[in-house]
Structure 1
Amino acid sequence: MHLNRGGRAADVQQDERELTDAVGGSGAMKTGTTSVGLTARNGVVLATDARATVNGGTFVENRNLRKITKVHPTAAMTLVGHIGPARAFARQLREEADSYEIRHGDPLSIESLATLAGNLVREHEIQNISPLIGGVDENGISVVAVDTAGGVIGEDFVATGSGMQLAYGVLEDRYEDDLSVDTAVRLAAKAVQSGVSRDTQSGDGVFIGTITADGVSIDGHDDFSDV
C-alpha cells in the first residue's frame, strides 16, 4: 500500500470517509497506537501505526486506519485515543484554522494553532485523546504534544500512545539535531516499528506524515522495509 493525498478538500473528504468507515458508528473504537513526531532540518515528521482496537484492546477492529490528518496548510496531527473524540477534535481544529485564514488572509501560526488545540481540549473537556501536532511556518518548525488537561508541550521529538516507551527508546538513542527530512522519516518509522514489535495495540504497518513549508504529505506502507 502506498497512499499520497493532495489538496485540502481532498484531505478533508478522505479523512471523513476513512474515519467514518473505521468507526462504523461505534465511539468505543480506540487507537492504542504508537505515535511519534520529530523535527528535522526543513520540516516535521509524524508517524503512527495503522491498527485500531475495541474491547480494551483485545480485538483488532481495523488494520488500515490512517491516524494522521491535515489540520492546517502546513500542519498535521495524529489521532490517538478514542476515535470519536479524536475525529471531532481534528474537525473542529481544522475548521477554526480555516476560519482564521478566511478572515485574515493568512494561515494561523503554528504556535497559535497549538494554543488553540490546548484551549479546545480544556474548554470542551475532551477526554481520551493525546494528539501530536507538527507544523512549519515562518517562525520555525514545531512538534507539540497536547495532554488531556489542555497542556501544550513543544519538543524536538515526542512519542505518545500505548507503544510510546518502546518508541522513545529508539528516538532517544538515534535522534540528532539537524536531521534531513528523509533521515527523520526513516527514524520515525523505526520508532513506530519498535512499538509494533511488542505492543499488542499497535500494528499493521505505518503511516508517515511529512510536513514542510510546501505542505503536508501522508503516505502509508504495509511493510516497514518500504519506508
Structure 2
Amino acid sequence: MDSNQAGKQHSLMGSEAASERTLYPYVTGSSVVALKFKDGILMAADMGGSYGSTLRYKSVERLKPAGKHSLLGASGEISDFQEILRYLDELILYDNMWDDGNSLGPKEVHNYLTRVMYNRRNKFDPLWNSLVLGGVKNGQKYLGMVSMIGVNFEDNHVTTGFGNHLARPILRDEWHENLSYEDGVKLLEKCMRVLLYRDRSAINKLQIAKITEEGVTISPPYALKTFWGFSAFENPTVGAEGSW
C-alpha cells in the first residue's frame, strides 16, 4: 500500500472514529415536568448532571427563556442542549433584525425545534435531548415537547424521561384547567418528589420556572422536604425470595 492510500485510509478511519464518539451522551440531565396553569405555564427540572451513572454536577440549569414568549426545558445531553440554545439565539436575533413589531411565539419556536431535531435524526447525528417548550402569546397558552428523533405533540401537561412513567399518571389524575399558581407548584413538587425517590439520576436541588404574559420567572434552586422511612425503602426485597 503506497503512502497516499495509507493516508486516505487513516483519514477515513479517523473521521469515522470522530463521528462515532459524538453519538453517545456523556453528561446528561434527567426529567423535565411541565403543565398549564390558569395564567400560563409552569416547568420544573432538577439541577443534576450525570456523567454516566455518576452524579457529577449539581448546578446544571436546564430551564431557559427562549425569546419574549417562550420557555425551554431539556433533559438529555447537556452540551447538545447548549448547542440548541445557540441555534435559538441565532433564530431570535435574525427575527429581531426584521424590526417589524412581531416576535416569535411558542408555537413557532416549537415547530422550529421539531424540524431541527428531525433533521439531525435523519443525518444519523441526533441531538441527544428531549425538549419541553411552553409559552404564552396574545393570551394563548402553549405547551409541547419534542424527542431526539423528532416525535412531537402538544398537551396540557408534558414530561420527559422517567417522568413519562412516574409523573404523567399523577398529572392525569390531579391536573385541571383552572389550576392556580400555588396549586400548580404543589403538583410539580409532588411529581419531582416521586422522581427523586425512584429515579437514580434525580437530585434534591431543583428549579421551577413560570411564564405568563408578563414574562419568564425562574426560581432560585431549592430542596424538597423528603421522607425516607417508608417500609419499602427500609426492606425493599421483603417478599422477593432469592433476590438481592
| Identical pairs, percent | 20
1:83 Cα deviation from its structure 2 partner? 0.8
Task: Say whether the 8 Å CA contact 1:135–1:141 is kept in structure 2.
Answer: yes
Q: Using CA pairs below 8 Å that are at least 6 residues apart, which structure has the higher relative contact order?
A: 1
1:139 Cα deviation from its structure 2 partner? 5.6
- Tell me the distance in 2 between the aligned counterparts of 1:189 and 1:206: 9
Superposed CA offset, 1:157-212 (max 9, x none): 01112343111132122111121223212211221121111100111221111000
Superposed CA offset, 1:61-91 (max 9, x none): 1112111011111211112101111110122
Whichever of the two has the greater Rg, that structure is: 2
Superposed CA offset, 1:1-42 (max 9, x none): xxxxxxxxxxxxxxxxxxxxxxxxxx71111x1211101111
**Match for residue 107 of structure 1?**
103
Task: Say whether the 8 Å CA contact 1:209–1:216 is kept in structure 2.
Answer: yes
**Match for residue 27 of structure 2?**
29
- Tell me the distance in 2 between the aligned counterparts of 1:191 and 1:220: 19
Stretches of structure 2 that go unaligned for 5 or more consecutive residues are 1-24, 226-244
TM-score (structure 1 length as normaliser)? 0.80
- Tell me the distance in 1 between the aligned counterparts of 2:152 and 2:213: 22
**Match for residue 202 of structure 1?**
202
User: Residue 121 of structure 1 is aligned with which of 101, 117, 122?
Assistant: 117
Determine helix, strand or coil for the equivalent of 2:84. Answer: helix
Amino acid at match of 1:92: Y
1:106 Cα deviation from its structure 2 partner? 1.9
Determine helix, strand or coil for the equivalent of 1:220. Answer: coil
Stretches of structure 1 that go unaligned for 5 or more consecutive residues are 1-26
158-167 vs 41-50, which moves further = 158-167
User: Residue 94 of structure 1 is aligned with which of 89, 94, 99?
Assistant: 89
**Match for residue 61 of structure 1?**
56
Cα gap change, 1:43 to 1:223, in 2 (>3 Å) = same
TM-score (structure 2 length as normaliser)? 0.75
Task: Say whether the 8 Å CA contact 1:29–1:82 is kept in structure 2.
Answer: yes
